[in-house]
Structure 1
Amino acid sequence: MLLRLLFISIVASFLSFSHGAFAQDMPSGQETPAASVEDLVRILENEDARNALLTKLKTQVSAAGQEAAVQTEPTLARQIAEQTRAAAEQIVTGGTAIWAGVTAVAAMLSGSSDVDYGVIWNVAIHVVLVGAGLFTSFFLVAMLMHVVQRRLEGRASGRHWSVRAAFMVISTVLDGLSVAIAWGAGYFIALQIIGGATGRMDINQTLLLNAFLMVEMLKVAMRLVLQPRFPAFRLIPMSDTTSAYWYFWLSRGVSLVGYTFMFVAPVIDTNVSPAAAQAVRVLVMLTVTVTGILIVLQNRVRVRATLSSRASRGRSDFISRASAVFAGVWHLVAIAYLIAFFVVWLVNPTAALPFMITATVQSFIAVLVGGLVITFISRFVNAGLRLPDDLRLRLPALEGRLQAFVPRVMQVTRTIVVIAVVIAIAQAWGLIDFLSWVTTERGQRITGSLFAALVILLFGFVAYLAMSSWVEYRLNPDYGSVPTSREKTLLSLFRNAFTIALIVLVTMLALAQLGVNIAPLLAGAGVLGLAVGFGAQKLVQDIITGVFIQLENVMNEGDVVDLGGVSGVVEKLTIRSVSIRSLDGTLHLVPFSSVDTVANMMKGFGYHVAEIRVAYRENIAEVKEAMQEAFELLQQTEWGEKIIGPLDMQGITAFGDSAITVRARIKTIAGGHWGAGRAYNEFIKDVFDRRGIEIPYPHVTLYMGEDKSGNAPPLRIKQQNIESGDEPAAIITS
């Protein structure tokens, strides 16, 4: 029952509203049908009438919803149509205002208007007097300040950029102070001289003074950046001609627009007509737009060459490519911007123009700051990285390593700066709302992840640099203890293993911070490792054999070894292979899987085995004495420090065809037996020559035989000339 009464009341209210609306639409004098509760009850009791009422209510509700949807959410075509209609209306309105202004000016010049020329003349006289005093005082104060600024430039010339920047700030303060003093002098003239006893000034004089302050302060800011008069203060790389050129046109444009909009147009609006003031504004904006287009066309080639200079020098980074692409279309973009600026000002100067000016200023500031940051980074990279001499001696490879990594890091930094400038420009023009997106949960998560990934990469680089520097310091023989061969081998292997582990760890952590699920990567790496283990048995054998060779300390870097059919000095050891430099300079890479036996000739100590061949007729005791003498002479040389034992005389070891072999051994430190052996051989030759001990060489003995009595048959020798004119030759005959 309660629900039925509630439904009846709602329907009654709706019918009352509907009847009221119908009554508004009906002509006056006609009665409006009254809806009573009895009529409503009869309608509800009749099934046909009730269905008709429900159908009508549904239709009206649907129509109202569609109308509300159209009003609240217009389509894109409707929005474009509305914007186009508004632009056309504003253009027509602007044209009408211009025509009205021209008409008003013409009427004023013809004398047919109701303008009070006496008032205009009085205003003009007062404004001219204030302007004369204002600009005269500004000229005199500027001349005085110019003398001081010129002296500051002389002191700053040739100094460091920080000193020049300090003098530049002082010069800019003096420049702004001259504007402030002239502005104060203008107010004094307007209040005390022209105002007289009343001490009051006209609004037109105030407009002139305020326009002067704003325009001249903007010129001070332009002089701060361009420095057309004092080149020593200029921090931007720019020639004097270029600086003077841009300051000339920019200052003229600022003066024309500033004084027109802040002084001339308001005065005309008050004393002549608003239409005439609008006509003056349009004429000035059109002049500035056309002048800007001509300046763009005049500098098209020069700016294009500047933008494409990096690419023309062979640079292929992102900034160079983007600058080269923009160099071909920059003038079209600039002209389109100037035309759009004029049209926007003409269509909607109260709302669109402030937005466009603000976006332009913000874009200019973003580009300026980004350019200064990139310039500083480029100067830092081009200046190079110089470490202190003490640190360079301790870590000889650190400077080269930093000089190799710093340009890449700076390139990444430059790219980040360019992206930040693009985001700032898009934010200024309303293309994106990056600041609002950053404050959202998703934005904070993404930016936090990127920042965390960059921090992880940075810490990984610092860890690699610290580890490499420590290994390099430990391997430097000029500082600390001299590293042994074992230390060199283990430190080199540790550096390689640490680098691989660090790269894997940093990559995994960075990917995890970016939201990548690394669990499948780890599982895939395990499966891949298993597949490699089955498919690359030689590689697994290399690694396993290398591990045991390192654990058993069979060889180290600098050892002379014989393995895999190759003999030489071990230059490099990895977990999989060994690099050997043979005597002739050939580098051999031997995998550990092909190594069956390792012969290390520099483990602990070494022996020089001296096997001396003497003639059969020599006294062996005298030969041993001579060999001992040569050993004593060897001990008196620099090789004596490498000898760690007496001469090991082993005596006769072999009877040859023409000589007897006498052996002795000299025990030296590891690796010293080759040099000591060569020096010992020299002393053997000198001592044997002095003692007359024969060191025989291979020869042939002619044996003629002998009889039973032991007598050898005679050997007949006959001399005979072989050819005419030759020396006689001896011929042996039996």
Structure 2
Amino acid sequence: MRILALLILLLLAPAQAMAQFLPEEPAPVAGDAGIDELIRIIENDETRAALLERLRQTEEAGVPAEAPPDLSIVRQLAEYTRAAAEGTSTTLRSLGGVFIELQQGLSGTLSADLDGFRDVAIGVVLVGAGLFGSFLALRIIVLWAQGLIARRVTGRGWPSRILGMLGALVVDLGSVLLAWAIGYVVALMLVGGATGRMGINQSLLLNAFLLVETSKLVARAILQPRYESLRLIGVTDDNAAYWSFWLGRIISLLGYTFLFITPLLAANLSVGAASAVQVLVMATAVTIGIIVVLQNKDDVRTWLTGIAARRGNDGTGQLLILLGQYWHVVAIVYLVTLLVVWFANPEQALPFMLGATVQSAIAILVGVVIVGFIARFVSAGLSLPEDIKRRLPLLETRLHAFVPHVMLVVRWVVIAGVLLAIAQAWALFDFVGWIGSDGGQQVAGSVISAALIILVCIVLHVVVASWVEYRLNTSIGKTPTAREKTLLGLFKNAFTIALVVFGLMLALAQIGVNIAPLLAGAGVIGLAIGFGSQKLVQDIITGIFIQFENVMNEGDVVEAGGKSGVVEKLTIRSVTIRDLGGTVHLIPFSSVDQVSNMVRGFSFHVAEIGVAYDSDIAEVKQAMHDAFDQLMQTEHGENIIDELDMQGIIAFADSAVTVRARIKTLPGKHWAAGRAYSELVKTIFAERGIEIPYPHVTYVASAPARRPALPVIDGESREGGTPELPGEPSRG
């Protein structure tokens, strides 16, 4: 009773639910007599003149002009309310008429030949018994064969699983076709009798069986509820059995009803009875669909939430979470709408809605497959051959940086294509007609051209960056010089900036943006920057001359702007220096008044050593030469490019004599060689007793102080003067 009450509510909901069951008034059609009379009047000159005169009089009399339509919101609301009321009244009348007609048909008040219907039913029952009996018997053989195939492919790869699924599908299809053939034999031999001819009703049953069971066969082949090894989709055994059961029941209910039962009732009983059965079956199918949706509400929500969690709850993940919260509402509304549309216009609206649904499902399925492939491709990443990795070690990293962004754009393009396909299927937007028009082709061509320009720019950037990387690779070919490193780095930066600017301008021009004002505006902005940013202009001009003069390159040790260190980065505007303590200094060229390069061409270690005044200078020089000879025997010897430059005494200090010598090395190698040389000199001086003086203080203890003689005044001695303090040091 609850189901019947729910069905009645669903039937009463739409405004024009049962309008298709009311008989329509035929439009009046002019008969042959009227046409002959009109021809006769036109052929006769007098009658034609009289007809024209009457038409002129009618025109002169004039027709009262119609009042302009009231387009106000109040009038439109009134018209809509009136139409809804009339539709509701028509629905109730048609619904009552259908049930009255069904009651009359079942009670025998209509002109239905119940005896003939009984004979037809007997023939159909005989054919059905032979058809479904043979099919059930064949199903036992099919299940045995499918089980054998499943055991053979268990534990094997995907090719074997696909072949096994196809084999099971062929076996199942063979049983359907064989049962269908047996049904035809039964219909021809038993029902047809001596004539060997069967009726249309038996043919309806056989054709309905073939279509319905083939549809159920496809569902069984996809889900494979009995054999997991033949299943190609990732669902559990319980879910596969659940969906296979309900899909089979719904397909059987709708298929046999619309393909067999209702045509049988309409031909042998009454159209009203057939229509009532259709209404009952459609409402039952929709009710089953709503029950299935409510049963799986939480499972689908959990599944979508899990997918969103694996995606890190990104934008698509948030959309999946929202869909999981309200998907059952959307599904129920769709099912009820499907029922309403079928009630309103089963011959046009229902096929349109079903076709749009199938097209939308196919578009979504194709989009999901493409997006899934893209996601798998991005997650798997690119793996280049070892030879390319050795030649271009940064190419794989660069591709890993570009490919996800490109694939993200492709993903959104696929999503847009799916949305357009859905809009096309539901006639929301005629994309095919629009793309076939001149405006659509122009817009599509502009967008494709802009996309190709951007793609070409990306490819050029990757190619140029890879070429620069190849030229700077020290393991392939000759080692690049510091000048090449600097110029290639500047070229890559300048090329990237120019490529971005020109590519953006060309892309904007392709989509119809007038770039002339942009170029003029860029010129004005550049002029304003030139006047307002003098420091920036000074940086660039100074940087250009520094590059022309080749005073420093990347990797050089320089002093610029009061900071010294290794040049890590050199642009047209600034230089980046890392000092000895690891601090990075960004120095604009406008603050550089001079540059001191410490590693250009060659380097010198200047050894200025102070020795005591009483040292033998010849012995000191010999010791320094011996230290240089020992230095040449170490790993630093390969960096020394000349003999020791002994320059001798260069200064007389307060407590030492300064002796100078120079060691010429490769650029930048003088610091390490100088440290090693100083250690050797210190060791040899200590061995030979050569003193390296240093400032010191000598403390000398004095004798006890004596009292000075006192002067004698008037025969008496007087004490006076300043006594000498004991222990006063004397500086040495």
Equivalences for 1:37-436 in 2 at 5 Å? 57=60, 59-60=62-63, 63=65, 89=90, 92-105=93-106, 107=107, 119-154=116-151, 161=158, 164-165=161-162, 167-192=164-189, 194-309=191-306, 311=308, 315=312, 318-436=315-433
| Stretch deviating more after TM superposition (303-312 or 439-448) | 303-312
Shift in Å, 1:78: 7.1
Residues 546 and 576 of structure 1 are in contact (CA less than 8 Å); yes or no, is this contact kept in structure 2? yes
Q: What is the aligned-residue identity percentage?
A: 53
Q: Compute the RMSD of aligned alpha carbons.
A: 3.3
Change (3 A) 1:547 1:171: farther
| Structure 2 match to 1:672 | 669
Which of 417, 439, 442 does residue 442 from structure 1 map onto?
A: 439
Shift in Å, 1:639: 1.4
Rounded Cα–Cα distance in structure 2 between residues aligned with 1:659 and 1:449: 85
| Structure 2 match to 1:16 | 54
Change (3 A) 1:12 1:102: closer
Rounded Cα–Cα distance in structure 2 between residues aligned with 1:91 and 1:312: 50
Rounded Cα–Cα distance in structure 2 between residues aligned with 1:104 and 1:317: 61
Shift in Å, 1:693: 2.4
Task: Give 3-state SS (helix, strand or coil) of 1:448's partner.
Answer: helix
Shift in Å, 1:240: 3.0
Shift in Å, 1:134: 2.6
Aligned AA for 1:223? R
Shift in Å, 1:192: 4.2
Rounded Cα–Cα distance in structure 2 between residues aligned with 1:14 and 1:499: 82
Which of 524, 528, 550 does residue 525 from structure 2 map onto?
A: 528
Change (3 A) 1:163 1:496: farther
Change (3 A) 1:145 1:549: farther
Rounded Cα–Cα distance in structure 2 between residues aligned with 1:547 and 1:125: 103
Matched, 1:602 2:599: yes
Task: Give 3-state SS (helix, strand or coil) of 2:479's partner.
Answer: coil
Residues 538 and 593 of structure 1 are in contact (CA less than 8 Å); yes or no, is this contact kept in structure 2? yes
Task: Give 3-state SS (helix, strand or coil) of 1:385's partner.
Answer: coil
Shift in Å, 1:446: 0.7
Shift in Å, 1:644: 0.9
Q: Which runs of 5+ in 2 are unaligned?
A: 1-46, 706-725
Equivalences for 1:541-552 in 2 at 5 Å? 541-552=538-549
Residues 105 and 112 of structure 2 are in contact (CA less than 8 Å); yes or no, is this contact kept in structure 1? no
Matched, 1:483 2:480: yes
| Structure 2 match to 1:501 | 498
| Structure 2 match to 1:29 | none
| Structure 2 match to 1:454 | 451
Which of 628, 642, 646 does residue 645 from structure 1 map onto?
A: 642
What are the Cα deviations for residues 676-716 of structure 1, in whole angstroms up to 9, with x where unaligned? 111212222232233332223332457x9xxxxxxxxx965
Rounded Cα–Cα distance in structure 2 between residues aligned with 1:549 and 1:515: 42
Residues 311 and 317 of structure 2 are in contact (CA less than 8 Å); yes or no, is this contact kept in structure 1? no
| Stretch deviating more after TM superposition (293-302 or 628-637) | 293-302
Change (3 A) 1:550 1:243: farther
Which of 507, 512, 515 does residue 515 from structure 1 map onto?
A: 512
Higher relative contact order (Cα pairs below 8 Å, separated by 6+ residues) = 2
What are the Cα deviations for residues 269-293 of structure 1, in whole angstroms up to 9, with x where unaligned? 2232222222211111111111112
Change (3 A) 1:456 1:359: same
Change (3 A) 1:477 1:188: farther
What are the Cα deviations for residues 421-469 of structure 1, in whole angstroms up to 9, with x where unaligned? 1211111111111111110000111111111111112122111122222
Residues 667 and 673 of structure 1 are in contact (CA less than 8 Å); yes or no, is this contact kept in structure 2? yes
| Stretch deviating more after TM superposition (228-237 or 267-276) | 228-237
What are the Cα deviations for residues 541-577 of structure 1, in whole angstroms up to 9, with x where unaligned? 1111111111211111111111111011111111111
Equivalences for 1:651-662 in 2 at 5 Å? 651-662=648-659
Change (3 A) 1:18 1:330: farther
Task: Give 3-state SS (helix, strand or coil) of 1:693's partner.
Answer: coil
Aligned AA for 2:55? F
Shift in Å, 1:527: 0.6
Rounded Cα–Cα distance in structure 2 between residues aligned with 1:513 and 1:318: 30
Shift in Å, 1:119: 4.0
| Stretch deviating more after TM superposition (201-210 or 232-241) | 232-241
Which of 566, 570, 575 does residue 578 from structure 1 map onto?
A: 575
Residues 114 and 269 of structure 2 are in contact (CA less than 8 Å); yes or no, is this contact kept in structure 1? no
Residues 300 and 324 of structure 2 are in contact (CA less than 8 Å); yes or no, is this contact kept in structure 1? yes
Change (3 A) 1:649 1:80: farther
Task: Give 3-state SS (helix, strand or coil) of 2:566's partner.
Answer: strand
Residues 658 and 699 of structure 1 are in contact (CA less than 8 Å); yes or no, is this contact kept in structure 2? no
| Structure 2 match to 1:471 | 468
Shift in Å, 1:594: 0.3
Residues 156 and 163 of structure 1 are in contact (CA less than 8 Å); yes or no, is this contact kept in structure 2? yes
Change (3 A) 1:547 1:147: farther
Q: Which runs of 5+ in 1 are unaligned?
A: 1-8, 22-55, 705-713, 719-729
Rounded Cα–Cα distance in structure 1 between residues aligned with 2:274 and 2:640: 109
Q: Return the TM-score normalized by structure 1.
A: 0.82
What are the Cα deviations for residues 585-628 of structure 1, in whole angstroms up to 9, with x where unaligned? 11111111100110011101000111122222221112111211
The size of the alignment, in residue pairs, is 661
Equivalences for 1:712-723 in 2 at 5 Å? 716=703
Change (3 A) 1:66 1:681: closer
Aligned AA for 1:472? E
Residues 205 and 260 of structure 2 are in contact (CA less than 8 Å); yes or no, is this contact kept in structure 1? yes
| Stretch deviating more after TM superposition (408-417 or 157-166) | 157-166
Task: Give 3-state SS (helix, strand or coil) of 2:587's partner.
Answer: strand
Residues 716 and 732 of structure 1 are in contact (CA less than 8 Å); yes or no, is this contact kept in structure 2? no
